[in-house]
Structure 1
Amino acid sequence: MPPVFRRSPAARAPRRRARLPWWAVALPVVSFVALLALVAHSSRASAAGVPQGLAPLLEILARIVRSGA
């Protein structure tokens, strides 16, 4: 007699959509912004009164994260 293959109850249940953790979305965004800031930063062309470097950008991102936005 051939073996009988039965599906488990879990196999019959509809599949749920997998949810990404918050950091799986936040890390690529932060990486993109940091790289964009590094590429856009130029020591030859700078506006008067604008803070240069990555530190101001990181401070803004830290404020955003602390506020929970």
Structure 2
Amino acid sequence: MSAPTHPRLHPATKGRIDIRLPWWALALPMLAFVTLLLLILNPVDAHAAGGTPAITDVFERVQQTVLNQAP
């Protein structure tokens, strides 16, 4: 006994694929690329953070706490 077939609701497109992207799907990667390219071309604008990094201070405090509480 054969199974009943269901008719297709949408006819198959022949050779044409319709894909739509939102505007930001192209704009955001292009903006990121241009920003990074400008930073590479003009590294004077990319200043490093001054002073000691915060993560170094955190590690130093953890080390002091561990060494002071050791019996």
Higher alpha-carbon Rg: 2
TM-score normalized by the length of structure 1: 0.49
> Structure with the greater relative contact order (CA < 8 A, sep ≥ 6): 1 or 2?
1
TM-score normalized by the length of structure 2: 0.47
